Structure 1
Amino acid sequence: MRLIQIKFSRLSKGQKLIAEYILNNYDKAAFMTAAKLGASVGVSESTVVRFAIELGFNGYPTLQKALQELIKNKLTTVQRLELSNEYISEENALKGVLKADIDNIRATLEKINHKTFEDVVNSIFKAKKIYIIGLRSSSALSEFLGFYLNIILDNVRVVSSGMSDVFEQMINLNEDDLVIGIGFPRYAMKTINILSFAKSRNAKVVAITDSLLSPLASKADYTLIAQSNMASFVDSLVAPLSIINALIVAVGMHEKDKISDTFNTLEGIWKKYQVYSSEKDLYEER
Protein backbone atom coordinates (compact mmCIF):
# COMPACT_ATOMS: atom_id res chain seq x y z
CA MET A 1 0.00 0.00 0.00
CA ARG A 2 2.88 2.30 0.85
CA LEU A 3 4.48 1.48 -2.52
CA ILE A 4 1.34 2.64 -4.35
CA GLN A 5 1.34 5.92 -2.43
CA ILE A 6 5.01 6.56 -3.21
CA LYS A 7 4.62 5.93 -6.96
CA PHE A 8 1.18 7.51 -7.33
CA SER A 9 2.34 10.77 -8.92
CA ARG A 10 4.18 8.88 -11.70
CA LEU A 11 1.20 6.80 -12.74
CA SER A 12 -0.91 7.41 -15.82
CA LYS A 13 -4.51 8.57 -15.49
CA GLY A 14 -5.88 5.04 -15.88
CA GLN A 15 -3.30 3.61 -13.48
CA LYS A 16 -4.23 6.23 -10.87
CA LEU A 17 -7.83 5.01 -11.03
CA ILE A 18 -6.58 1.48 -10.29
CA ALA A 19 -4.38 2.76 -7.47
CA GLU A 20 -7.26 4.65 -5.86
CA TYR A 21 -9.51 1.63 -6.10
CA ILE A 22 -6.94 -0.65 -4.45
CA LEU A 23 -6.23 1.84 -1.68
CA ASN A 24 -9.94 2.13 -0.89
CA ASN A 25 -10.95 -1.48 -1.55
CA TYR A 26 -7.82 -3.55 -0.96
CA ASP A 27 -9.81 -6.40 0.61
CA LYS A 28 -11.81 -6.89 -2.60
CA ALA A 29 -9.06 -6.05 -5.08
CA ALA A 30 -6.80 -8.79 -3.70
CA PHE A 31 -9.19 -11.44 -5.00
CA MET A 32 -10.09 -9.88 -8.36
CA THR A 33 -8.70 -10.97 -11.70
CA ALA A 34 -6.97 -8.30 -13.77
CA ALA A 35 -9.97 -8.19 -16.09
CA LYS A 36 -12.44 -7.76 -13.25
CA LEU A 37 -10.34 -5.08 -11.56
CA GLY A 38 -10.07 -3.20 -14.85
CA ALA A 39 -13.83 -3.42 -15.44
CA SER A 40 -14.50 -2.13 -11.91
CA VAL A 41 -12.57 1.11 -12.56
CA GLY A 42 -13.24 1.47 -16.31
CA VAL A 43 -9.85 0.58 -17.77
CA SER A 44 -8.55 -2.31 -19.87
CA GLU A 45 -7.01 -5.50 -18.52
CA SER A 46 -3.70 -4.53 -20.15
CA THR A 47 -3.71 -1.25 -18.18
CA VAL A 48 -3.98 -3.28 -14.96
CA VAL A 49 -1.04 -5.45 -16.04
CA ARG A 50 1.06 -2.35 -16.87
CA PHE A 51 0.10 -0.89 -13.48
CA ALA A 52 1.52 -3.95 -11.71
CA ILE A 53 4.75 -3.73 -13.74
CA GLU A 54 5.03 0.01 -13.01
CA LEU A 55 4.98 -0.84 -9.29
CA GLY A 56 7.90 -3.22 -9.81
CA PHE A 57 6.08 -6.55 -10.00
CA ASN A 58 6.70 -8.96 -12.88
CA GLY A 59 2.97 -9.19 -13.59
CA TYR A 60 -0.47 -8.87 -12.11
CA PRO A 61 -0.52 -12.31 -10.37
CA THR A 62 2.51 -11.28 -8.31
CA LEU A 63 0.84 -8.02 -7.27
CA GLN A 64 -2.34 -9.91 -6.41
CA LYS A 65 -0.42 -12.40 -4.26
CA ALA A 66 1.33 -9.54 -2.45
CA LEU A 67 -2.05 -7.95 -1.70
CA GLN A 68 -3.42 -11.25 -0.40
CA GLU A 69 -0.42 -11.72 1.89
CA LEU A 70 -0.84 -8.16 3.14
CA ILE A 71 -4.49 -8.45 4.03
CA LYS A 72 -5.09 -12.01 5.13
CA ASN A 73 -4.29 -11.27 8.77
CA LYS A 74 -6.15 -7.95 8.67
CA LEU A 75 -9.52 -9.14 7.42
CA THR A 76 -12.24 -9.28 10.03
CA THR A 77 -14.75 -12.12 9.96
CA VAL A 78 -17.32 -9.67 8.59
CA GLN A 79 -15.00 -8.78 5.69
CA ARG A 80 -14.38 -12.47 5.03
CA LEU A 81 -18.12 -13.07 4.91
CA GLU A 82 -18.60 -10.19 2.44
CA LEU A 83 -15.87 -11.61 0.21
CA SER A 84 -17.34 -15.09 0.30
CA ASN A 85 -20.73 -13.71 -0.69
CA GLU A 86 -19.14 -12.01 -3.69
CA TYR A 87 -17.03 -14.90 -4.97
CA ILE A 88 -18.85 -18.01 -3.73
CA SER A 89 -22.59 -18.57 -4.06
CA GLU A 90 -24.77 -21.31 -2.65
CA GLU A 91 -24.75 -22.93 -6.09
CA ASN A 92 -20.97 -23.14 -6.41
CA ALA A 93 -19.98 -23.46 -2.72
CA LEU A 94 -19.05 -27.14 -2.94
CA LYS A 95 -16.98 -26.79 -6.11
CA GLY A 96 -15.41 -23.48 -5.04
CA VAL A 97 -14.29 -24.67 -1.61
CA LEU A 98 -13.01 -28.05 -2.81
CA LYS A 99 -11.03 -26.42 -5.62
CA ALA A 100 -9.51 -23.91 -3.17
CA ASP A 101 -8.50 -26.74 -0.84
CA ILE A 102 -6.92 -28.67 -3.72
CA ASP A 103 -4.94 -25.54 -4.62
CA ASN A 104 -3.82 -25.18 -0.99
CA ILE A 105 -2.55 -28.76 -0.83
CA ARG A 106 -0.77 -28.40 -4.19
CA ALA A 107 0.94 -25.18 -3.05
CA THR A 108 1.90 -26.79 0.27
CA LEU A 109 3.51 -29.74 -1.50
CA GLU A 110 5.61 -27.29 -3.55
CA LYS A 111 6.61 -25.15 -0.56
CA ILE A 112 7.30 -27.73 2.14
CA ASN A 113 10.95 -28.15 3.11
CA HIS A 114 11.65 -31.88 3.38
CA LYS A 115 14.80 -31.39 5.46
CA THR A 116 12.88 -29.25 7.95
CA PHE A 117 10.17 -31.91 8.13
CA GLU A 118 12.79 -34.56 8.99
CA ASP A 119 14.34 -32.24 11.60
CA VAL A 120 10.93 -31.81 13.25
CA VAL A 121 10.42 -35.59 13.41
CA ASN A 122 13.88 -35.99 14.99
CA SER A 123 13.11 -33.21 17.49
CA ILE A 124 9.95 -35.03 18.56
CA PHE A 125 12.01 -38.10 19.51
CA LYS A 126 14.71 -36.07 21.25
CA ALA A 127 12.29 -34.10 23.45
CA LYS A 128 11.80 -35.03 27.09
CA LYS A 129 8.29 -33.61 26.97
CA ILE A 130 6.22 -32.34 24.05
CA TYR A 131 3.68 -29.54 24.40
CA ILE A 132 1.20 -28.88 21.59
CA ILE A 133 -0.73 -25.62 21.41
CA GLY A 134 -3.22 -24.40 18.83
CA LEU A 135 -6.04 -22.13 19.90
CA ARG A 136 -9.39 -21.05 18.45
CA SER A 137 -9.90 -22.67 15.02
CA SER A 138 -6.45 -24.28 15.28
CA SER A 139 -7.51 -26.16 18.43
CA ALA A 140 -8.99 -28.90 16.22
CA LEU A 141 -5.54 -29.41 14.68
CA SER A 142 -3.71 -29.49 18.02
CA GLU A 143 -6.22 -31.96 19.48
CA PHE A 144 -5.89 -34.23 16.43
CA LEU A 145 -2.07 -34.17 16.57
CA GLY A 146 -2.11 -34.71 20.33
CA PHE A 147 -4.60 -37.60 20.11
CA TYR A 148 -2.40 -39.65 17.80
CA LEU A 149 0.98 -38.71 19.26
CA ASN A 150 -0.34 -39.77 22.67
CA ILE A 151 -1.01 -43.24 21.27
CA ILE A 152 2.53 -43.49 19.92
CA LEU A 153 4.47 -41.65 22.66
CA ASP A 154 4.02 -41.18 26.40
CA ASN A 155 5.35 -37.64 26.84
CA VAL A 156 2.80 -35.52 24.96
CA ARG A 157 0.55 -32.85 26.40
CA VAL A 158 -2.01 -30.74 24.53
CA VAL A 159 -2.19 -27.24 26.04
CA SER A 160 -5.68 -25.79 25.89
CA SER A 161 -7.75 -22.95 27.29
CA GLY A 162 -9.49 -24.53 30.23
CA MET A 163 -9.71 -24.04 33.96
CA SER A 164 -5.99 -23.30 34.21
CA ASP A 165 -4.15 -20.73 32.13
CA VAL A 166 -1.96 -22.01 29.30
CA PHE A 167 1.16 -20.68 31.03
CA GLU A 168 0.32 -22.63 34.20
CA GLN A 169 0.11 -25.81 32.13
CA MET A 170 3.69 -25.20 30.93
CA ILE A 171 5.24 -23.96 34.16
CA ASN A 172 7.89 -26.72 34.15
CA LEU A 173 8.94 -26.13 30.53
CA ASN A 174 12.71 -26.28 30.03
CA GLU A 175 15.46 -26.68 27.43
CA ASP A 176 14.89 -30.42 27.10
CA ASP A 177 11.31 -29.93 25.90
CA LEU A 178 9.64 -29.27 22.58
CA VAL A 179 6.72 -26.91 21.91
CA ILE A 180 4.67 -27.32 18.74
CA GLY A 181 2.65 -24.17 18.00
CA ILE A 182 -0.12 -24.22 15.39
CA GLY A 183 -1.63 -21.00 14.08
CA PHE A 184 -3.11 -19.48 10.93
CA PRO A 185 -4.65 -16.08 10.09
CA ARG A 186 -6.05 -14.53 12.16
CA TYR A 187 -3.25 -15.65 14.50
CA ALA A 188 -4.22 -16.17 18.15
CA MET A 189 -2.16 -13.79 20.28
CA LYS A 190 -1.90 -16.27 23.14
CA THR A 191 -0.26 -18.85 20.86
CA ILE A 192 2.34 -16.27 19.84
CA ASN A 193 2.97 -15.39 23.50
CA ILE A 194 3.37 -19.06 24.41
CA LEU A 195 6.06 -19.50 21.75
CA SER A 196 7.87 -16.43 23.11
CA PHE A 197 7.67 -17.98 26.57
CA ALA A 198 9.07 -21.24 25.19
CA LYS A 199 12.03 -19.43 23.65
CA SER A 200 12.70 -17.67 26.98
CA ARG A 201 12.92 -21.15 28.58
CA ASN A 202 15.29 -22.31 25.79
CA ALA A 203 12.89 -25.01 24.64
CA LYS A 204 12.86 -26.10 21.00
CA VAL A 205 9.97 -24.58 19.07
CA VAL A 206 8.18 -25.91 15.99
CA ALA A 207 5.63 -23.74 14.18
CA ILE A 208 2.99 -25.13 11.85
CA THR A 209 1.73 -22.05 10.06
CA ASP A 210 1.05 -20.49 6.68
CA SER A 211 4.17 -18.44 5.96
CA LEU A 212 7.72 -17.68 7.06
CA LEU A 213 6.38 -14.17 7.65
CA SER A 214 3.91 -15.53 10.21
CA PRO A 215 4.43 -14.26 13.78
CA LEU A 216 4.68 -17.90 14.85
CA ALA A 217 7.53 -18.55 12.43
CA SER A 218 9.57 -15.70 13.91
CA LYS A 219 9.60 -17.54 17.27
CA ALA A 220 10.36 -21.01 15.86
CA ASP A 221 13.47 -23.12 15.37
CA TYR A 222 11.65 -25.10 12.69
CA THR A 223 8.69 -23.97 10.58
CA LEU A 224 6.42 -26.22 8.54
CA ILE A 225 4.53 -24.19 5.94
CA ALA A 226 0.97 -25.19 5.07
CA GLN A 227 -1.02 -22.91 2.79
CA SER A 228 -4.40 -21.92 4.19
CA ASN A 229 -5.78 -19.38 1.72
CA MET A 230 -9.45 -19.02 2.55
CA ALA A 231 -12.26 -19.53 0.11
CA SER A 232 -14.72 -18.01 2.58
CA PHE A 233 -15.04 -16.77 6.17
CA VAL A 234 -14.10 -20.30 7.32
CA ASP A 235 -10.38 -21.03 7.72
CA SER A 236 -9.07 -23.64 5.29
CA LEU A 237 -7.33 -26.26 7.44
CA VAL A 238 -7.09 -29.04 4.85
CA ALA A 239 -3.40 -28.53 4.01
CA PRO A 240 -2.35 -28.04 7.67
CA LEU A 241 -4.16 -31.27 8.55
CA SER A 242 -2.29 -33.06 5.75
CA ILE A 243 1.03 -31.88 7.18
CA ILE A 244 -0.03 -33.08 10.63
CA ASN A 245 -1.10 -36.44 9.19
CA ALA A 246 2.33 -36.76 7.58
CA LEU A 247 4.02 -35.97 10.92
CA ILE A 248 1.98 -38.62 12.72
CA VAL A 249 2.75 -41.23 10.06
CA ALA A 250 6.47 -40.37 10.06
CA VAL A 251 6.65 -40.66 13.86
CA GLY A 252 4.66 -43.89 13.70
CA MET A 253 7.04 -45.40 11.16
CA HIS A 254 9.83 -45.05 13.72
CA GLU A 255 7.78 -46.88 16.36
CA LYS A 256 6.16 -49.69 14.35
CA ASP A 257 6.56 -52.45 16.96
CA LYS A 258 5.35 -50.25 19.82
CA ILE A 259 2.32 -49.08 17.83
CA SER A 260 1.43 -52.67 16.93
CA ASP A 261 1.48 -53.72 20.60
CA THR A 262 -0.46 -50.60 21.63
CA PHE A 263 -3.22 -51.12 19.08
CA ASN A 264 -3.52 -54.81 19.94
CA THR A 265 -4.09 -53.80 23.55
CA LEU A 266 -6.50 -51.04 22.55
CA GLU A 267 -8.53 -53.35 20.33
CA GLY A 268 -9.13 -55.58 23.35
CA ILE A 269 -10.21 -52.62 25.47
CA TRP A 270 -12.43 -51.17 22.71
CA LYS A 271 -14.13 -54.51 22.22
CA LYS A 272 -14.66 -55.14 25.95
CA TYR A 273 -16.14 -51.70 26.60
CA GLN A 274 -17.92 -51.40 23.24
CA VAL A 275 -16.12 -48.20 22.23
CA TYR A 276 -17.01 -48.80 18.59
CA SER A 277 -20.08 -50.39 17.07
CA SER A 278 -19.56 -53.87 15.67
CA GLU A 279 -20.91 -55.58 12.56
CA LYS A 280 -23.16 -57.59 14.86
CA ASP A 281 -24.62 -54.40 16.39
CA LEU A 282 -25.36 -53.00 12.94
CA TYR A 283 -26.99 -56.26 11.87
CA GLU A 284 -29.21 -56.39 14.98
CA GLU A 285 -30.34 -52.79 14.41
CA ARG A 286 -31.62 -53.79 10.98
Structure 2
Amino acid sequence: MENNKQDLMKSIQAKFLRLSKGQKLIAQYILKHYDKAAFMTAAKLGIRVGVSEATVIRFANEFGFNGYPKLQKSLQELIKNKLTTMQRFNLSYDSMTQENVLDEVLKGDIENIRVTLEKINNQTFENIVNSLFKARKVYIIGLRSSSALAGFLAFYLNLILENVQVVAYGVSDIFEQMFNVDERDIIIGIGFARYATRTIEALEFVRSKHGIVVAITDSLSSPLASNANYTLIAQSNITSFVDSLVAPFSVINALIIAVELRGKEKVAKTFSTLESIWEEYNVYSLKDKDNKYL
Protein backbone atom coordinates (compact mmCIF):
# COMPACT_ATOMS: atom_id res chain seq x y z
CA MET A 1 0.00 0.00 0.00
CA GLU A 2 2.76 2.42 0.92
CA ASN A 3 4.61 1.56 -2.29
CA ASN A 4 1.52 2.38 -4.34
CA LYS A 5 1.25 5.77 -2.65
CA GLN A 6 4.90 6.48 -3.26
CA ASP A 7 4.50 5.50 -6.93
CA LEU A 8 1.65 8.00 -7.34
CA MET A 9 3.56 10.72 -5.53
CA LYS A 10 6.67 10.04 -7.61
CA SER A 11 4.61 10.17 -10.80
CA ILE A 12 3.23 13.58 -9.83
CA GLN A 13 6.72 14.81 -8.99
CA ALA A 14 8.18 13.45 -12.25
CA LYS A 15 5.55 15.18 -14.38
CA PHE A 16 5.41 18.36 -12.33
CA LEU A 17 7.44 20.59 -14.65
CA ARG A 18 5.30 19.59 -17.66
CA LEU A 19 2.01 20.42 -15.95
CA SER A 20 0.05 23.59 -16.65
CA LYS A 21 0.11 26.39 -14.07
CA GLY A 22 -3.27 25.34 -12.65
CA GLN A 23 -2.35 21.66 -12.58
CA LYS A 24 0.84 22.50 -10.68
CA LEU A 25 -1.28 24.07 -7.95
CA ILE A 26 -3.31 20.85 -7.71
CA ALA A 27 -0.16 18.73 -7.67
CA GLN A 28 1.39 20.79 -4.89
CA TYR A 29 -1.74 20.48 -2.78
CA ILE A 30 -2.03 16.71 -3.27
CA LEU A 31 1.64 16.15 -2.51
CA LYS A 32 1.32 18.08 0.74
CA HIS A 33 -2.28 17.28 1.74
CA TYR A 34 -3.19 14.01 0.00
CA ASP A 35 -5.11 12.90 3.11
CA LYS A 36 -7.46 15.88 2.74
CA ALA A 37 -7.63 15.82 -1.08
CA ALA A 38 -8.87 12.23 -0.95
CA PHE A 39 -12.13 13.39 0.60
CA MET A 40 -12.74 16.47 -1.55
CA THR A 41 -14.87 16.58 -4.68
CA ALA A 42 -13.29 17.99 -7.83
CA ALA A 43 -15.20 21.23 -7.28
CA LYS A 44 -14.02 21.58 -3.66
CA LEU A 45 -10.41 20.81 -4.58
CA GLY A 46 -10.60 23.40 -7.36
CA ILE A 47 -11.92 26.03 -4.98
CA ARG A 48 -9.24 25.18 -2.40
CA VAL A 49 -6.34 25.70 -4.83
CA GLY A 50 -7.96 28.39 -6.99
CA VAL A 51 -8.61 26.55 -10.27
CA SER A 52 -11.69 25.38 -12.16
CA GLU A 53 -13.34 21.99 -11.70
CA ALA A 54 -12.47 21.21 -15.33
CA THR A 55 -8.77 21.74 -14.55
CA VAL A 56 -9.00 19.22 -11.70
CA ILE A 57 -10.62 16.68 -14.02
CA ARG A 58 -7.92 17.21 -16.67
CA PHE A 59 -5.30 16.73 -13.94
CA ALA A 60 -6.77 13.30 -13.11
CA ASN A 61 -6.78 12.37 -16.80
CA GLU A 62 -3.14 13.42 -17.08
CA PHE A 63 -2.21 10.67 -14.61
CA GLY A 64 -4.21 7.93 -16.31
CA PHE A 65 -7.43 8.15 -14.32
CA ASN A 66 -10.76 8.06 -16.12
CA GLY A 67 -12.14 11.09 -14.30
CA TYR A 68 -11.41 12.67 -10.94
CA PRO A 69 -13.51 10.18 -8.86
CA LYS A 70 -11.06 7.44 -9.90
CA LEU A 71 -8.12 9.47 -8.61
CA GLN A 72 -10.04 10.32 -5.44
CA LYS A 73 -10.92 6.66 -4.87
CA SER A 74 -7.30 5.67 -5.39
CA LEU A 75 -6.17 8.15 -2.75
CA GLN A 76 -8.86 6.94 -0.33
CA GLU A 77 -7.83 3.31 -0.75
CA LEU A 78 -4.21 4.21 -0.18
CA ILE A 79 -4.64 6.23 2.99
CA LYS A 80 -7.76 5.06 4.78
CA ASN A 81 -5.99 2.56 7.01
CA LYS A 82 -3.29 5.11 7.85
CA LEU A 83 -5.48 8.00 8.98
CA THR A 84 -5.26 8.52 12.70
CA THR A 85 -8.38 9.41 14.68
CA MET A 86 -7.06 12.95 14.98
CA GLN A 87 -6.67 13.21 11.21
CA ARG A 88 -10.23 11.98 10.75
CA PHE A 89 -11.39 14.56 13.26
CA ASN A 90 -9.62 17.32 11.34
CA LEU A 91 -11.14 16.15 8.06
CA SER A 92 -14.63 16.82 9.40
CA TYR A 93 -13.81 20.52 9.61
CA ASP A 94 -12.78 20.58 5.95
CA SER A 95 -15.80 18.69 4.59
CA MET A 96 -18.75 20.05 6.57
CA THR A 97 -20.03 22.77 8.84
CA GLN A 98 -22.50 22.88 11.71
CA GLU A 99 -25.10 24.23 9.28
CA ASN A 100 -24.79 21.46 6.68
CA VAL A 101 -23.81 18.48 8.84
CA LEU A 102 -27.25 16.80 8.74
CA ASP A 103 -27.50 16.98 4.95
CA GLU A 104 -23.87 15.95 4.42
CA VAL A 105 -24.01 12.92 6.72
CA LEU A 106 -27.35 11.62 5.43
CA LYS A 107 -26.34 12.14 1.80
CA GLY A 108 -23.07 10.35 2.52
CA ASP A 109 -24.89 7.37 4.03
CA ILE A 110 -27.28 7.21 1.05
CA GLU A 111 -24.29 7.19 -1.28
CA ASN A 112 -22.63 4.44 0.75
CA ILE A 113 -25.72 2.24 0.39
CA ARG A 114 -25.93 2.98 -3.36
CA VAL A 115 -22.29 2.01 -3.92
CA THR A 116 -22.71 -1.10 -1.74
CA LEU A 117 -25.66 -2.25 -3.86
CA GLU A 118 -23.51 -1.91 -6.97
CA LYS A 119 -20.53 -3.77 -5.52
CA ILE A 120 -22.13 -6.62 -3.59
CA ASN A 121 -22.11 -10.05 -5.20
CA ASN A 122 -25.46 -11.87 -5.01
CA GLN A 123 -23.95 -15.30 -5.55
CA THR A 124 -21.45 -14.73 -2.73
CA PHE A 125 -24.33 -13.63 -0.51
CA GLU A 126 -26.24 -16.85 -1.31
CA ASN A 127 -23.17 -19.00 -0.68
CA ILE A 128 -22.76 -17.44 2.76
CA VAL A 129 -26.39 -18.16 3.67
CA ASN A 130 -25.94 -21.80 2.60
CA SER A 131 -22.73 -22.09 4.63
CA LEU A 132 -24.41 -20.74 7.76
CA PHE A 133 -27.02 -23.50 7.67
CA LYS A 134 -24.39 -26.20 7.15
CA ALA A 135 -22.01 -25.00 9.85
CA ARG A 136 -21.59 -26.83 13.14
CA LYS A 137 -20.83 -23.52 14.82
CA VAL A 138 -20.92 -19.89 13.74
CA TYR A 139 -18.34 -17.52 15.21
CA ILE A 140 -18.76 -13.77 14.81
CA ILE A 141 -16.04 -11.23 15.49
CA GLY A 142 -16.14 -7.46 15.16
CA LEU A 143 -14.03 -5.33 17.47
CA ARG A 144 -14.01 -1.67 18.46
CA SER A 145 -16.66 0.23 16.43
CA SER A 146 -17.58 -2.99 14.61
CA SER A 147 -18.61 -4.63 17.91
CA ALA A 148 -22.07 -3.09 17.52
CA LEU A 149 -22.46 -4.82 14.16
CA ALA A 150 -21.21 -8.13 15.54
CA GLY A 151 -23.59 -8.00 18.50
CA PHE A 152 -26.57 -7.13 16.30
CA LEU A 153 -25.84 -9.96 13.87
CA ALA A 154 -25.26 -12.48 16.66
CA PHE A 155 -28.42 -11.50 18.55
CA TYR A 156 -30.70 -12.32 15.64
CA LEU A 157 -28.79 -15.28 14.19
CA ASN A 158 -28.82 -16.95 17.60
CA LEU A 159 -32.62 -16.90 17.55
CA ILE A 160 -32.56 -18.78 14.27
CA LEU A 161 -29.49 -21.03 14.34
CA GLU A 162 -28.78 -21.60 18.06
CA ASN A 163 -25.09 -22.27 17.41
CA VAL A 164 -23.75 -18.73 17.31
CA GLN A 165 -20.91 -17.36 19.44
CA VAL A 166 -19.54 -13.83 19.57
CA VAL A 167 -15.77 -13.75 19.84
CA ALA A 168 -14.73 -10.72 21.87
CA TYR A 169 -12.22 -9.39 24.36
CA GLY A 170 -12.88 -10.84 27.78
CA VAL A 171 -11.55 -13.12 30.48
CA SER A 172 -10.23 -15.61 27.93
CA ASP A 173 -8.09 -14.80 24.93
CA ILE A 174 -9.76 -14.59 21.52
CA PHE A 175 -7.97 -17.70 20.29
CA GLU A 176 -9.00 -19.70 23.36
CA GLN A 177 -12.63 -18.99 22.45
CA MET A 178 -12.08 -20.72 19.10
CA PHE A 179 -9.59 -23.45 19.93
CA ASN A 180 -11.97 -26.22 18.77
CA VAL A 181 -12.62 -24.68 15.35
CA ASP A 182 -12.29 -26.92 12.30
CA GLU A 183 -13.61 -27.31 8.74
CA ARG A 184 -17.18 -27.72 10.02
CA ASP A 185 -17.25 -24.20 11.43
CA ILE A 186 -17.61 -20.71 9.99
CA ILE A 187 -16.44 -17.32 11.20
CA ILE A 188 -17.85 -13.97 10.13
CA GLY A 189 -15.31 -11.19 10.58
CA ILE A 190 -16.51 -7.59 10.47
CA GLY A 191 -14.07 -4.73 10.13
CA PHE A 192 -13.46 -1.41 8.42
CA ALA A 193 -10.54 0.98 8.23
CA ARG A 194 -8.81 1.32 10.60
CA TYR A 195 -8.80 -2.49 10.75
CA ALA A 196 -8.47 -4.13 14.17
CA THR A 197 -5.39 -6.34 14.29
CA ARG A 198 -7.07 -9.01 16.44
CA THR A 199 -9.91 -9.40 13.92
CA ILE A 200 -7.41 -10.02 11.13
CA GLU A 201 -5.53 -12.54 13.27
CA ALA A 202 -8.75 -14.34 14.22
CA LEU A 203 -9.64 -14.85 10.56
CA GLU A 204 -6.11 -16.07 9.82
CA PHE A 205 -6.42 -18.54 12.70
CA VAL A 206 -9.73 -19.99 11.47
CA ARG A 207 -8.40 -20.20 7.92
CA SER A 208 -5.39 -22.16 9.20
CA LYS A 209 -7.82 -24.61 10.83
CA HIS A 210 -9.66 -24.99 7.49
CA GLY A 211 -12.82 -23.30 8.72
CA ILE A 212 -14.90 -21.15 6.38
CA VAL A 213 -14.06 -17.46 6.63
CA VAL A 214 -16.53 -14.71 5.75
CA ALA A 215 -15.48 -11.05 5.72
CA ILE A 216 -17.83 -8.09 5.86
CA THR A 217 -15.56 -5.19 5.04
CA ASP A 218 -15.13 -2.13 2.83
CA SER A 219 -12.87 -3.36 0.04
CA LEU A 220 -11.43 -6.45 -1.60
CA SER A 221 -8.03 -4.98 -0.70
CA SER A 222 -8.97 -5.06 2.99
CA PRO A 223 -6.76 -7.35 5.12
CA LEU A 224 -9.94 -9.13 6.23
CA ALA A 225 -10.78 -10.01 2.62
CA SER A 226 -7.32 -11.49 2.01
CA ASN A 227 -8.12 -14.28 4.48
CA ALA A 228 -11.74 -14.86 3.43
CA ASN A 229 -13.46 -17.55 1.42
CA TYR A 230 -16.33 -15.12 0.89
CA THR A 231 -16.34 -11.33 1.10
CA LEU A 232 -19.31 -8.97 1.29
CA ILE A 233 -18.36 -5.40 0.42
CA ALA A 234 -20.12 -2.68 2.41
CA GLN A 235 -19.10 0.91 1.69
CA SER A 236 -17.93 2.79 4.77
CA ASN A 237 -16.33 6.04 3.62
CA ILE A 238 -15.62 8.40 6.48
CA THR A 239 -15.55 12.17 6.68
CA SER A 240 -14.86 12.43 10.40
CA PHE A 241 -13.62 10.30 13.30
CA VAL A 242 -17.02 8.50 13.32
CA ASP A 243 -17.31 5.41 11.11
CA SER A 244 -20.29 5.30 8.75
CA LEU A 245 -21.90 1.93 9.52
CA VAL A 246 -25.24 2.44 7.76
CA ALA A 247 -24.35 0.35 4.68
CA PRO A 248 -22.76 -2.46 6.76
CA PHE A 249 -25.87 -2.57 8.97
CA SER A 250 -28.03 -2.81 5.84
CA VAL A 251 -25.99 -5.73 4.49
CA ILE A 252 -26.21 -7.47 7.86
CA ASN A 253 -29.98 -6.88 7.96
CA ALA A 254 -30.27 -8.54 4.55
CA LEU A 255 -28.18 -11.49 5.74
CA ILE A 256 -30.36 -11.98 8.83
CA ILE A 257 -33.58 -11.83 6.80
CA ALA A 258 -32.21 -14.26 4.20
CA VAL A 259 -31.39 -16.76 6.94
CA GLU A 260 -34.79 -16.17 8.52
CA LEU A 261 -36.61 -16.85 5.24
CA ARG A 262 -34.61 -20.04 4.71
CA GLY A 263 -35.61 -21.37 8.13
CA LYS A 264 -39.01 -19.70 8.47
CA GLU A 265 -40.83 -22.72 9.98
CA LYS A 266 -38.32 -23.04 12.80
CA VAL A 267 -38.26 -19.27 13.26
CA ALA A 268 -42.06 -19.13 13.55
CA LYS A 269 -42.00 -21.79 16.27
CA THR A 270 -39.16 -20.02 18.12
CA PHE A 271 -40.91 -16.67 18.15
CA SER A 272 -44.19 -18.21 19.20
CA THR A 273 -42.45 -19.60 22.27
CA LEU A 274 -40.59 -16.35 22.91
CA GLU A 275 -43.76 -14.27 22.73
CA SER A 276 -45.21 -16.32 25.58
CA ILE A 277 -42.05 -15.79 27.65
CA TRP A 278 -41.93 -12.06 26.87
CA GLU A 279 -45.55 -11.64 27.89
CA GLU A 280 -45.17 -13.64 31.10
CA TYR A 281 -42.14 -11.66 32.24
CA ASN A 282 -43.19 -8.23 30.86
CA VAL A 283 -40.16 -7.97 28.63
CA TYR A 284 -41.85 -5.36 26.46
CA SER A 285 -44.25 -2.55 27.39
CA LEU A 286 -47.90 -3.42 26.74
CA LYS A 287 -51.01 -1.27 26.38
CA ASP A 288 -54.38 -1.87 28.06
CA LYS A 289 -57.80 -1.39 26.45
CA ASP A 290 -57.58 2.37 27.07
CA ASN A 291 -54.31 2.52 25.11
CA LYS A 292 -52.30 3.19 28.26
CA TYR A 293 -48.96 1.55 28.88
CA LEU A 294 -49.13 -1.16 31.53
TM-score by length of 2: 0.92
Aligned to 1:143: 151
Flag the 1:284–1:113 CA change in 2: closer, same or farther, 3 A.
closer
Contact 1:88 1:232 (C-alpha < 8 Å) held by counterparts: no
How far has the Cα of 1:285 moved from its partner? 5.9
Question: Of the candidates 167, 173, 178, which is equivalent to residue 186 of structure 2?
Answer: 178
Aligned to 1:162: 170
Aligned to 2:130: 122
Aligned to 1:3: 8
Question: Of the candidates 198, 207, 210, which is equivalent to residue 199 of structure 1?
Answer: 207
- Equivalent position amino acid for 1:146 in 2: A
Contact 2:285 2:293 (C-alpha < 8 Å) held by counterparts: no
Deviations, residues 78-111 of structure 1 (Å, cap 9, x unaligned): 1111111222222222211111111111111111
Any stretches of 5+ residues in structure 1 without a counterpart? none
Aligned to 1:241: 249
Partners of 1:208 and 1:95 lie apart in 2 by: 27
Contact 1:151 1:259 (C-alpha < 8 Å) held by counterparts: yes
Contact 2:188 2:215 (C-alpha < 8 Å) held by counterparts: yes
Any stretches of 5+ residues in structure 2 without a counterpart? none
Contact 2:286 2:293 (C-alpha < 8 Å) held by counterparts: no
Deviations, residues 2-53 of structure 1 (Å, cap 9, x unaligned): 2231342333252333222111101111122323323333434333222211
Aligned to 1:36: 44
Matched, 1:12 2:41: no
Matched, 1:133 2:141: yes
Secondary structure class of the residue paired with 2:40:
coil
Partners of 1:74 and 1:281 lie apart in 2 by: 58
RMSD: 1.8
Partners of 1:66 and 1:220 lie apart in 2 by: 23
Flag the 1:241–1:35 CA change in 2: closer, same or farther, 3 A.
closer
Map of 1:36-55 to 2, 5 A cutoff? 36-55=44-63
- Equivalent position amino acid for 1:164 in 2: S
Contact 1:123 1:178 (C-alpha < 8 Å) held by counterparts: yes
How far has the Cα of 1:268 moved from its partner? 0.7
Contact 2:82 2:194 (C-alpha < 8 Å) held by counterparts: yes
Percent of aligned positions that are identical:
64
Flag the 1:263–1:35 CA change in 2: closer, same or farther, 3 A.
closer
Matched, 1:225 2:230: no
Partners of 1:143 and 1:42 lie apart in 2 by: 47
Contact 2:12 2:27 (C-alpha < 8 Å) held by counterparts: no
TM-score by length of 1: 0.95
Moved more, 138-147 or 44-53: 44-53
Question: Of the candidates 73, 85, 107, which is equivalent to residue 77 of structure 1?
Answer: 85
Aligned to 2:66: 58
Partners of 2:157 and 2:289 lie apart in 1 by: 30
Flag the 1:164–1:63 CA change in 2: closer, same or farther, 3 A.
same
